[in-house]
Structure 1
Amino acid sequence: MAQIFISLGSNVNKEHYLRQALIALKAYFPDFIHSSVYESEAVGFAGSNFYNSVVAAKTDMPLAKLCKLLKKIELDNGRTREDKKFSPRTLDLDLLFYDDIICETPAQLPRDEITKNAFVLQPLAEIAPDFYHPVAKLTLAELWNNYYNPQQKLWKVEFSNP
């Protein structure tokens, strides 16, 4: 079974779509662990604040199939393939880690945003502080403790899992 981590983000009807993503993910990964939900300002464009969180799970699903599943859940929740990288979105699901695999296809692993964005790194470090980043050669707790970007502010929000 592979250890996987998936980031969730939304800034369009964000509570609804985050909840829908969790319901969909629970069907495939019933024992997942969900981080706290954080609100943050949009990064890279002017837009509404995002809700972000991370899910940890174990799976025997092959990597390519998992990537297709995450895209399907996004599409089922109003995401379109025409969405620009830095734009509002109903739902964004990014695979962050699949065990310690390092690759560029079918997904960039580990995901580059892990070390660059507080809204990915903080919830990830919250649920898996001892997980080792195979490229950075540090644990997630160490990466979070070393992280500094005063432009990226985020705060926990009340959110009850479905």
Structure 2
Amino acid sequence: MKDFALELGCLGFTMRLKRLSDALMHDGRKMYKELGVDIEPNWYVVFRLLKREGEMSVMEIAEKIKLAHPSVITLTNKMMKAGYLSSAQCTDDNRRRLLTLTQKAHDQLPRLEQIWNAGERGVIKALEGTDFMEMFALIEARFGEKGFKDRTIDELNKPTL
């Protein structure tokens, strides 16, 4: 059976990105379960960021990883529930809460970093011989300059010959 997303060409682009993301997340969950690690695949970025920065607000995390604030709240709330993050009110601004890694997170980091480093090596091997990361950076930059909505509206407003 033919892959309809491939048949769509450029219009299938977001569907294919979503499909790849879903496959990687599903495989990541299976890997962590098999290894006996109780984290979600998308938590690694918060672990690594807070390890480097020490403490950050949800808004700061969202800005650093370029995710929507509500998405970061959902992610960090799950991490807190699992015991990997703690939250404290900012002394300068009571509206802000600062997140830090817990002792449980610090205890797990050596094993997690071992897994993430192996994962990185695996991805590098999978992408070997391609310019995928450069191309992906270019796509992100171009859509960062001018989004899909504006590009589509510009095309709609072009005079037809």
Structure 1-normalised TM-score? 0.25
Give the structure with the larger strand fraction.
Answer: 1
Give the structure with the larger helix fraction.
Answer: 2
